[in-house]
């Protein structure tokens, strides 16, 4: 097989100033949660992207000075020669596969907390920080601006010395250069404030300084937010965003354009956006510049990618999340294997990792972030270590990933699923409003399992302990999932609540089983991820009066990690869902729920037709318990019984997939160290 002719345009080389990208696949800058503290991990991750065929591979944000410190989050830095040495590993790793290496030079201004360096925050005008903390940013004077320009030049020189081909001037995501551009944050009265021409002055000088410093051998890119989504008070793509591009149109070698206002706008989840959702804001850019343009939009379809090029929207296919879900996406298209692409589901678990200051994770790609730490490669696996047969019980995300990975290694696998269809929790959760793309977790694995004749699949097969033992397999893997609790125990409640047995008090399991719901509906969410809010939206769309109660001060609070919380709460409120905050469930009986205020303890009551408890989950391990007893007297050929995914510890789909992959990858290999590799500070 080879590249489908209709996709050949994606593999044309594109000139970017003094350098040439080998194709149109551009991995735009994205955070990894690794930063300057984990240079080997970062280099290994970017190396895999280059090996997978991305013509340009960019770093995450790279600080140019200690006054731009984002600790404890994982950012890069180019402050000194130690940083040059470390980042050279990344540039070399990218070059080893023929790709261009790009570095995103960054100063956060009032968006950099400086908690480690303790440098004062700086901004165009005195203002509070762009996150909640004591203090504020001081207004930069002319000397500060001269210093800032020097920091950019010196960081650019270091970037060139480290081996990067493309050096960024970063004016997006509400960071310092963008703070100069926007009237919302720039209230200066000198030559750097007031008119748009004045507000653009610093960005123009940055571009000119960077080109003068490295432009003979390195391309200079500008990342610009052309719309901050604040309406006429801010920069808009039909107003000043367009004017900025027109003013600077031919100055940089490449335009990397997106939307801003918050990172959640640029990396909006699939729950709230479609593929290519930024096009309406960025489509004008190529009409006002001859320089190549790249943008993003969670592109996963090769046909959509070709459409972006042929319709003149952009010259490159920009991607962050799709390159995480499948680092080998370009190679698979080139080799005619586009059916094998692990499409990004837009769940934003990748964003949660950076927001929690831990290395990258992905629901679709369990190897991301493990390239150096565990030595995992997304496309290469060790062959089977024995002729053992493996039974996997449960066809949800953990079971499917486990069976597929074992099949890729060549093992004989029996996959038994109690239900009549594969997918488990994924199939159920993908029916919720906005979550249809999550079905890709199931669909990709089911499709790929069809390519491995050593894997036999048996739907409609509920197995007991004796059934399992009678199969004569050497290894049993239990991926039987979890069930939702009915006793009210959740994140905020450690002991069971007074909840009467009632047909009107349900859990998500009941909803997915098709139990009839009578309004008004009250959802109690003490899990705080997507489920409570998505169910409330589902019931409201069905025409019910709906309220959602939670012990915390906001709805679906953990979705702050996935950059979705604002959108979740806004949609619920826009749809007329009654939001009850800081209320902890005390008791529930037929038609009445009693709550205590999380702060004062004041008691309130709420009538309901149906109460849906979204609290904790319990591992479904009845089969494990039965097997543990049965094998004492009838071990036979059985060598191991292993629980994976939610059957071991209920968590996210991403954790379930990782759990299944980890078992399958390590089966029959020499025992690995209990503690994976860790990067440690250098001690001279």
> Residue 431 in 3-state DSSP?
coil
CA–CA gap between residue 350 and residue 520 (Å, rounded): 36
* Nearest alpha-carbon partner for 224 in 177, 272, 268: 177
CA–CA gap between residue 143 and residue 151 (Å, rounded): 12
**CA separation (Å) from 137 to 67, 109, 132, 508?**
11, 8, 12, 46
* Nearest alpha-carbon partner for 557 in 578, 585, 523, 582: 582
H or E, element range at 550: none
CA–CA gap between residue 333 and residue 24 (Å, rounded): 12
In the numeric block, the tokens 């303790």 are attached to 118
Question: What token pair was written down for 663?
Answer: 């078992």
Task: Confirm if 262 and 351 have CB atoms less than 8 A apart.
Answer: no
Alpha helices in 163-239 (DSSP H): 176-181, 196-214
Q: What is the CA radius of gyration of the chain?
A: 27
CB atoms within 10 A of CB 496: 11
Beta-bridge partners for 597: 583
Which of 648-661 are b and which e, b meaning 16 or more Cβ less than 10 Å from the residue's Cβ? bebebbbbbbbbbb
CA–CA gap between residue 366 and residue 655 (Å, rounded): 8
Beta-bridge partners for 413: 390, 455
**Which residue in 61, 170, 175, 411 is the catalytic one?**
175
* Nearest alpha-carbon partner for 402 in 411, 261, 574: 411
**CA separation (Å) from 536 to 110, 404, 529, 591?**
36, 35, 13, 18
CA–CA gap between residue 84 and residue 103 (Å, rounded): 12
CA–CA gap between residue 240 and residue 228 (Å, rounded): 10
Q: Is the peptide bond before 599 cis (omega within 30 degrees of 0)?
A: no
Task: Confirm if 370 and 334 have CB atoms less than 8 A apart.
Answer: no
Task: Confirm if 249 and 267 have CB atoms less than 8 A apart.
Answer: no
Task: Confirm if 167 and 220 have CB atoms less than 8 A apart.
Answer: yes
* Catalytic annotation present for 61: no
Helix then strand then coil, % of the chain, to nearest 5: 35, 20, 45
CA–CA gap between residue 546 and residue 238 (Å, rounded): 38
CA–CA gap between residue 581 and residue 584 (Å, rounded): 9
Exposed / middle / buried, residue 261 (Cβ in 10 Å: 0-12, 13-18, 19+): middle
CA–CA gap between residue 658 and residue 368 (Å, rounded): 10
- Enumerate the active-site residues: 175
């Amino acid at each position: 097989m080879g590249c489908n002719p209709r996709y050949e345009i994606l593999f044309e080389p594109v000139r970017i100033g003094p350098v040439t990208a080998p194709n149109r696949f551009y991995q735009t800058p994205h955070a990894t949660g690794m930063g300057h503290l984990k240079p080997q991990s970062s280099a290994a991750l970017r190396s895999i992207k280059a090996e997978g065929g991305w013509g340009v591979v960019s770093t995450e944000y790279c600080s140019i000075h200690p006054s731009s410190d984002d600790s404890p989050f994982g950012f890069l830095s180019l402050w000194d020669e130690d940083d040059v040495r470390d980042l050279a590993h990344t540039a070399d790793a990218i070059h080893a596969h023929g790709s261009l290496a790009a570095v995103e030079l960054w100063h956060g201004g009032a968006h950099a907390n400086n908690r480690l360096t303790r440098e004062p925050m700086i901004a165009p005008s005195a203002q509070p920080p762009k996150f909640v903390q004591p203090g504020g940013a001081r207004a930069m004077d002319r000397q500060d601006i001269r210093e800032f320009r020097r920091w950019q030049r010196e960081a650019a020189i270091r970037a060139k010395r480290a081996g990067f081909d493309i050096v960024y001037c970063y004016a997006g995501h509400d960071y310092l250069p963008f703070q100069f551009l926007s009237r919302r944050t720039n209230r200066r009265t000198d030559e750097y404030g007031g008119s748009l021409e004045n507000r653009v002055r610093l960005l123009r000088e940055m571009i000119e300084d960077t080109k003068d410093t490295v432009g003979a051998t390195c391309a200079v890119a500008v990342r610009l937010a052309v719309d901050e989504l604040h309406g006429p008070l801010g920069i808009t793509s039909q107003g000043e965003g367009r004017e900025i591009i027109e003013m600077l149109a031919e100055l940089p070698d490449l335009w990397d354009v997106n939307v801003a206002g918050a990172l959640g706008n640029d990396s909006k989840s699939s729950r709230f956006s479609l593929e290519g959702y930024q096009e309406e804001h960025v489509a004008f850019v190529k009409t006002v510049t001859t320089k190549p343009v790249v943008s993003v939009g969670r592109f996963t379809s090769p046909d959509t990618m070709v459409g972006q090029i042929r319709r003149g929207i952009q010259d490159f296919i920009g991607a962050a999340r799709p390159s995480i879900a499948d680092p080998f996406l370009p190679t698979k298209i080139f080799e005619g294997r586009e059916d094998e692409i692990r499409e990004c589901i837009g769940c934003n678990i990748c964003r949660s990792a950076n927001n929690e200051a831990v290395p990258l994770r992905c629901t679709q790609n369990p190897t991301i972030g493990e390239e150096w730490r565990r030595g995992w490669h997304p496309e290469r696996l060790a062959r089977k270590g024995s002729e053992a047969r493996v039974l996997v019980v449960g066809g949800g995300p953990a079971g499917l990933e486990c069976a597929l990975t074992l099949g890729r290694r060549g093992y004989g696998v029996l996959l038994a699923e109690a239900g009549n269809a594969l997918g488990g929790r994924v199939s159920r959760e993908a029916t919720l409003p906005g979550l249809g793309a999550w079905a890709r977790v199931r669909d990709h694995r089911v499709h790929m399992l069809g390519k491995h004749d050593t894997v036999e699949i048996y739907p409609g097969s509920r197995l007991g302990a004796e059934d399992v033992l009678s199969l004569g397999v050497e290894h049993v893997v239990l991926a039987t999932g979890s069930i939702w609790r009915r006793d009210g125990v959740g994140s905020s409640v450690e002991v069971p609540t007074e909840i009467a047995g009632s047909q009107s008090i349900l859990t998500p399991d009941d909803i997915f089983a098709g139990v009839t719901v009578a309004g008004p509906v009250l959802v109690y969410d003490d899990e705080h991820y997507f489920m409570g809010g998505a169910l409330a939206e589902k019931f409201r769309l069905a025409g019910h009066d709906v309220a959602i109660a939670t012990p915390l001060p906001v709805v679906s609070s953990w979705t702050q990690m996935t950059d979705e919380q604002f959108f979740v709460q806004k949609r619920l409120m826009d749809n007329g869902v009654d939001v009850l905050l800081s209320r902890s469930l005390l008791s529930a009986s037929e038609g009445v729920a009693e709550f205590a205020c999380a702060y004062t303890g004041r008691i309130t009551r709420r009538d309901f037709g149906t109460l849906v408890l979204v609290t904790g989950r319990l591992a479904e391990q009845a089969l494990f318990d039965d097997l543990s007893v049965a094998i004492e007297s009838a071990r036979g050929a059985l060598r191991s019984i292993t629980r994976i995914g939610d059957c071991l510890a209920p968590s996210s789909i991403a954790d379930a997939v990782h759990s299944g992959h980890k078992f399958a990858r390590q089966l029959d290999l020499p025992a690995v160290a209990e503690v994976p590799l860790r990067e440690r500070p250098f001690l001279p």
